[in-house]
Chains A and B, each alone.
Chain A
Amino acid sequence: MDEFDDKEIGRLLRLKKFEQPPPDYFENFLHEFHRRQRDELLRQPLWKIAIERAQDFMLRLNVGRLASYPVAATAVLVCAAVLSLKIYQTPQAPSVAQIQSTVPAVQSDWNLASQVSGVMVAQPRPVFNANLSTHRKTAPPRYVLDSMPVSYESTLRF
């Protein structure tokens, strides 16, 4: 008896191609394929079907270049939108309240040797507020000082 060489192994293995399913298997295979495809389609959520249809539509329109780089295309569109907003947007007045400094601006060339009047003139004059007066409006103005000092304490009497 010869040994099993490569040729014999090959010959034996080629016999395996005769191992086939029943003849009606191949006839029914296509029907089974269609049935499974339908079942799978029914199980899919609506959004998934919509996306697939959209992809098909894009491909049929021959915009494969755009469809193959959807992220890049979206990024370009977003950048363009942002840039156009920046360019055409009119600047608005700042809504932050501005507080004017009460300190007068001092001349930059002022130093200790400068005259005082120059500094003092720049200071605003205080506004007189009549409401802050302690005198009664109905009383006539007095030009004589009181003989007694103003005090709420009783004077010491012995």
Chain B
Amino acid sequence: MDQPRTDEDQELVARTQDGDAGAFDQLVVKYTPRLYGLVYNMTANHEDTNDLLQDIFAKAYKSIRGFRGKSSFYTWIHSIAVNMTLNFLKKRGRRFHLSLDDVDASIQNDKEFLELTATSSPVREADLSELQRRLNEAMMKLSDEHRAVVTMFHIQGMPHAEISKILNVSEGTVRSRLFYANRQLQNYLEEFRKNPVS
């Protein structure tokens, strides 16, 4: 996932700090879709994602006067989002219900989607919807921290260095968490491949 232009963000941040609320609206519009994907794949619930996103932007708006630009706005807003979501998940505990829907039928004609599913792979051999459902379940079996890394790396396409900045951990920790999470997901999906009806 391409990062947005930093200088454009800096200008919007500066205008917001000068009291231009419209500039912050532009940042909200710009970052809502990508933050939605991040929070949604960590919480697996649409209502929780919506509430969290509102809180994330509210917190960002309150704190933006203290933002000194030591990191990019992209990193800063993602840090707020990940930390607030992790805190929320700790409070929620294991009480959740999956609301992750199967892949929307309308995007099954999407070029990128077709490319991803065109190659010969277990994905094609298995029922795609069922596999996605199993994958969602497997994701929710990961710890919150591992799920955050998987979401940012695999789904959002962030590099290790960026994830390490957002989580404020070393790149080695990011790689280690990713390796462990991949092994867990593989094991779970292998069980599904061997026993598809279970």
- A contacts, CB < 8 Å to B: 1-6, 8-21, 26, 29-30, 32-33, 36-37, 40, 55-56, 59-60
Minimal Cβ-Cβ distance residue in B for A32 = B54
- Tell me, in angstroms, the Cα distance from A36 to B58 when the chains sit together: 9
Partner among B32, B104, B121 whose Cβ is within 8 Å of the Cβ of A8? B121
Question: How many residues of chain B are within 8 Å of chain A by beta carbon?
Answer: 46
Q: A4-B189, A32-B54 are in contact. Are A17 and B155 (CB under 8 A)?
A: yes
Question: B28 and A33: CB pair below 8 A?
Answer: yes
Question: B190 and A10: CB pair below 8 A?
Answer: no
Question: B104 and A20: CB pair below 8 A?
Answer: yes
Q: Cβ of B19: which chain A residues have Cβ within 8 Å of it? A: 56, 60
Most chain-B CB neighbours within 10 Å: which of A2, A11, A40? Answer: A11
Question: Distance (Å) between the CB of B35 and the closest chain A CB?
Answer: 10
- B contacts, CB < 8 Å to A: 19, 25, 28-29, 32-33, 36-37, 40-41, 46, 53-54, 57-58, 61, 65, 100-101, 103-104, 107, 110, 113, 116-117, 119, 121-123, 125, 131-132, 135-136, 150, 154-157, 182, 185-186, 189-190, 193
Q: Cβ of A33: which chain B residues have Cβ within 8 Å of it? A: 28, 54, 57-58
Known: A13-B135, A18-B103, A33-B28. 16 other contacts (CB 8 A): A3-B122, A4-B185, A6-B182, A8-B122, A9-B154, A12-B131, A12-B189, A15-B116, A15-B117, A17-B37, A18-B113, A19-B101, A20-B107, A21-B36, A30-B25, A30-B32
- Tell me, in angstroms, the Cα distance from A10 to B182 when the chains sit together: 9
Minimal Cβ-Cβ distance residue in A for B186 = A4
Partner among B36, B54, B103, B104 whose Cβ is within 8 Å of the Cβ of A36? B54
Question: B36 and A20: CB pair below 8 A?
Answer: yes
Minimal Cβ-Cβ distance residue in B for A5 = B186
Q: A21-B46, A32-B54, A33-B57 are in contact. Are A12 and B65 (CB under 8 A)?
A: no
